Chain A
Amino acid sequence: METDEKLVQDAINARSGDFRAFDQLVLKHQGMVRTNCRFISGNEEDSLDLAQEVFVKAYFNLKGFQGKSQFTTWIKRIKVNHCLNHLRRQKGKTHLDIEDPSLTKEPMLHDTRQTSTTAEDRERREMISQTLDSLSENLRVPLIMRDMDGFSYQEISDKLGVGLSATKMRINRARQEFRTKYKEA
């Protein structure tokens, strides 16, 4: 399998409209990007749009990727900034929160591809999803940034605009709550 750096170079050198190399990058990283967008935004419907916008941003900024860091790290930063901006915009809006399970489950039902995932894997995913969804946004977002994305406390504190000690406290509390609720699930 080609390395990310090689695929980035191929995507940059490709003619306009030739997305073959970039498609490989999307295939490799869509799971991580979509998962993060899903649980940072806390909304299944928005997550596909957000993930799509993250990749579009990445495509038009590929030349800015100088290979100093890994592609994964680079795209994680684009994703977190994009999702946090989305959350800020959402907070400015008043909207009805319609919690309709049939809507939130829709993408899974349309997933007709044959996968090798076992029922056990699916169950585990479902449990983690439910536990994350049960956490408040204040706890869920820093937890994802720390334990999924691997950002430092300082970076999380800067991006969320919250003090460093408050960030550490939130992550600590989020982990405690996650563990308790995960066991219950």
Chain B
Amino acid sequence: MTDHLHNEKEPPIKELNDFTLEDNPGFTDRVNRSLNRHLLAGDSLEFSLEIFQKTMWEYLKTMVEHLPSNKKDNLEND
């Protein structure tokens, strides 16, 4: 991240090197709230996908169980 000084006609601004604005006391809480929102959204999405997968799986299982060939087999077995 450093270049040779001879590349620079005008020397760097010293004042900017350690320049920071005053800390904002509520900033950490603000970040935490945002992280919680993201985590909650992620959990909800995960839960919805899981429910969707389970529903689809049960639906397919029911479909397969009621296929005509299965019915035929069942009759033959009887």
Give chain B's interface residue range (CB within 8 Å of chain A): 20 to 34
Task: State which size class the interface on A falls in.
Answer: 35 or more
Tally of A-B Cβ pairs under 8 angstroms: 104
Contact, CB under 8 Å: A34 / B21: yes
**Cβ-based interface call for A104 (8 A):** no
Considering the chains assembled together, what is the distance between the CA atoms of A115 and B15 in angstroms? Answer: 21
Q: Is the CB of A34 within 8 A of B31?
A: no
With a CB–CB cut-off of 8 A, which chain A residues contact B12? 146-147, 175
Bound Cα distance from A128 to B19, whole angstroms: 8
In the complex, which residues 7-44 of chain B have their Cβ closer than 8 Å to any Cβ of chain A?
A: 7-13, 15-17, 19-25, 27-28, 30-32, 34-36, 38-39
Closest residue of chain B to A60, judged by CB? B38
B13-A143 in contact (CB<8A): yes
Which of chain A's residues have a CB closer than 8 A to the CB of B7? 153, 168
**With A27-B28, A34-B27, A56-B38 in contact, do A148 and B19 touch (Cβ < 8 Å)?**
yes
Indicate which residue in A48, A108, A146 contacts B30 across the interface (CB closer than 8 Å). A48
Interface residues of B (CB under 8 A from A): 1-3, 7-13, 15-17, 19-25, 27-28, 30-32, 34-36, 38-39
| Residues of chain A having any CB pair with chain B under 8 Å | 16-17, 19, 22-23, 26-27, 30-32, 34-35, 38, 48, 51-53, 55-56, 59-60, 73, 107-108, 111-113, 115, 117, 124-125, 128-129, 143-144, 146-148, 150-153, 155, 168, 171-172, 175-176, 178-179, 182
